[in-house]
Amino acid sequence: MDKKIEELKNAADFLKNNEYLPAAKCYANVAELLEKAGNIEEAEIIFQNIIDCYNKEAESNIGQNKHHEAAEIFLAAGELKIRLNEEDLSREYYNKAVQQFIKAAEQTLNQDDFQNAGDFFKKAAFYLEQEIQDMDLANKIYNKAIDCYQKFKNQIVIEEDFKKATHITQIIAILYERTGNYEKAIEIDNNALEMAKKRDLVQIITDCYLHMAHCYLKLDKKEKMIKTLKIAKDYNIKSGKLKMEKKNYLEASESFDNAISILKELNKLIVKNSKILEEINQSYINKADCYIKIADSNLNQAEIDRAAHFQRNAALCHRLIKKHKNAAELFVEAGTNFEKLNAKKLAAINFRDAGLQYELIKKPKTAADLLLSAAKLAKIEGTNEISIECYRDTLRNFECFDDMKKFEETLKELEELLKTLAEEEETEKNFHIAASYFFEIGNYYNSLKKPKKAEIYYNGAIDNLQKAVEIAIEEEQLTIAAYSLSCFIIIKLIVNDTNIESILAMYRNSLGENNYFKFSEDLYKEYISEEKKILEIIEKYEYIIKHSDELDYLISKLTEIMKIQD
């Protein structure tokens, strides 16, 4: 067992006698590491330790009359049993959770706390319906929840808390729907709707219409469902336009957002309806216009930061409907304003997004210029991840209009950044990360057909990976060591260096039982065989490859090179 895993397990073992939830958290970390290493059986044993901790914590809560807390713990145990494909046992835990929710409801009911009692009954009924599938009992408990919410609503002074009273009415409608009483649910929705319209509570009005539409679907009344959705859509578009006229742009944008969601639902129901698609696009444009108006108002008040954020929101709307030019221009405006505020990271993000939009409308030069600006700003700010990403995107666009001079100048900047980062990681003994930077530079020079330069960086990656293996073994982190070794071997195969047998022999005693080592060895043997059935090896070890984007990428590079060689 890896040293890190062993330390976490020891910590959990120490805590499990008194601190049940912290122990469960430690065990969860152990199980996650074991799963990533492909040690599924060991992970399942650890999961059982988590269940034991949950049981003890729940029993402790029950002893203190903390029934709600106990219920939540039993739910967590039930979800874990489902993950372990033990559905029968999961039902036992959901049953325990239901009993505790009911006790919590009765406890609060004795204190005339009708709202919380309703919440607890509602949760109990939900799990009876969804997980235990006892609809008769679920309906009885749903009716208890309805009764509690009705009593709570009667306690509310409607004029003082109109919104809450309307919201509770809406919840009651939903609970009638859960019991299968759809006609009653629609009736209560109409009550909530009348209340909400008195105060123009747009979101509640929208939710009521949507719930009514859902009930009509359950009653197999598709035409009424579509009609209700259209009413809801028209209401929100009208509301948005009225609010725009009143210059209440933020609330208007929320109405258009509701309209978009409803139109998307209608689009699923009414096939090939171009009018709906036009309305979706127009609602996005209206929403963007609201954001632009807010931004303009903020600029007039010298609130540049707020203006820039709304310009970005408007750009995102145009991007969603593929209005790439409009989106690009708004991203540039937002980026320019963020740059004025010296918010270099936000400026970089917006210039990057603008560049990517210009790339989509086949303007690689404009795209490259913006992406390069983004890369430089992010580099100054020290947000290296964004900087590297933008340099990569810049290089792709320089390739598009065949400006190899600028390509190589930009590559020099990226090379300098990646080398600096690699050297910093080497100093910190993070050799695996350093290797990934060297490997990337090597790939670029390989694409430029500069094999000598590429070889320098590939060798840098290989050397660092071997150091990563040694360090991990020294620290008794054997899974990490075997993982680094697998990357080391794949890169050696990518550069067609088959001097690997001695390396495998060197680490067989310490790492031979690890799945990453077995994968590396099988991959190497197949690579040097005549048949080269690499895809069979990839399929065999898919369960560990899929956990790592890095391994997936390296394998794709290897298979790509092998196709070229064939």
For 295-314, how does the pLDDT look when each residue is reduced to its tens digit (9 = 90+)? 999 999 889 999 999 999 99
278 in any annotated domain: yes
- Structure tokens, 178: 């859960």
> What is the pLDDT confidence band of residue 418, given thresholds at 50, 70 and 90?
very high
| Per-residue pLDDT at 499 | 94
Domain edge (last residue) among 265, 298, 331: 298
Mean predicted confidence (pLDDT) in 332-336: 98
> What is the pLDDT confidence band of residue 161, given thresholds at 50, 70 and 90?
confident
In the predicted structure, residue 91 carries a pLDDT above the cut 90: yes
In the chain, the number of structural domains is 2
| Per-residue pLDDT at 36 | 80
The stretches of 110-134 forming alpha helices (DSSP H) are 114-127
| Per-residue pLDDT at 325 | 98
560 in any annotated domain: yes
Average pLDDT for the chain: 94
- 8 Å CB contact between 75 and 97: yes
260 in any annotated domain: yes
291 in any annotated domain: yes
In the predicted structure, residue 561 carries a pLDDT above the cut 70: yes
Structural domain boundaries, residue 527: 476-566
Can you list the pairs that 365-370 forms with residues at least 24 positions away whose Cβ atoms lie under 8 Å?
365/397, 365/401, 365/403, 367/393, 367/397, 368/394, 368/397, 368/398, 368/401, 368/403, 368/406, 370/332
- 8 Å CB contact between 91 and 115: no
pLDDT one-digit tens code per residue, 200-240: 899 999 999 999 999 999 999 999 999 999 999 999 999 99
| Per-residue pLDDT at 270 | 87
| Per-residue pLDDT at 564 | 58
Mean predicted confidence (pLDDT) in 403-407: 88
Selected residue with higher pLDDT from 401 and 45:
45
Residue with tokens 């666009």: 397
Look up the pTM and report it. 0.81
**Residues 6 or more apart from 209 whose CB is under 8 A from it?**
193, 228, 229, 231, 232, 235, 262
Which of these, 342, 338, 340, 341, lies nearest to 352 by C-alpha position?
338
542 in any annotated domain: yes
Q: How far apart are CA 445 and CA 457, in angstroms?
A: 9
In the predicted structure, residue 496 carries a pLDDT above the cut 80: yes
> What is the pLDDT confidence band of residue 498, given thresholds at 50, 70 and 90?
very high
In the predicted structure, residue 1 carries a pLDDT above the cut 60: no
- 8 Å CB contact between 491 and 466: no
Domain edge (last residue) among 298, 320, 354: 298
Q: How many CB atoms lie within 10 A of CB 381?
A: 17
Domain edge (last residue) among 255, 277, 298: 298
| Per-residue pLDDT at 96 | 97
352 in any annotated domain: no
Selected residue with higher pLDDT from 39 and 187:
187
| Per-residue pLDDT at 566 | 53
CATH number at residue 246: 1.20.58
Burial class for 223, CB neighbours closer than 10 Å (0-12, 13-18, 19+): exposed
Mean predicted confidence (pLDDT) in 37-44: 83
Q: How far apart are CA 224 and CA 227, in angstroms?
A: 5
Mean predicted confidence (pLDDT) in 259-268: 95
| Per-residue pLDDT at 37 | 77
Q: How many CB atoms lie within 10 A of CB 416?
A: 12
Q: How much of the chain exceeds pLDDT 70, in percent? A: 99
Selected residue with higher pLDDT from 157 and 503:
503
- 8 Å CB contact between 284 and 320: yes
- 8 Å CB contact between 490 and 498: no
Angle of CA points 268, 273, 279, to nearest 5° = 90
What per-residue string of b and e applies to 550-563 under the rule 16 or more CB within 10 Å gives b? ebeebbebbeeebe
Looking at residue 117, its amino acid is A
Distances (CA, A) of 518 to 224, 425, 491, 509, 514: 61, 28, 17, 12, 6
517 in any annotated domain: yes
341 in any annotated domain: no
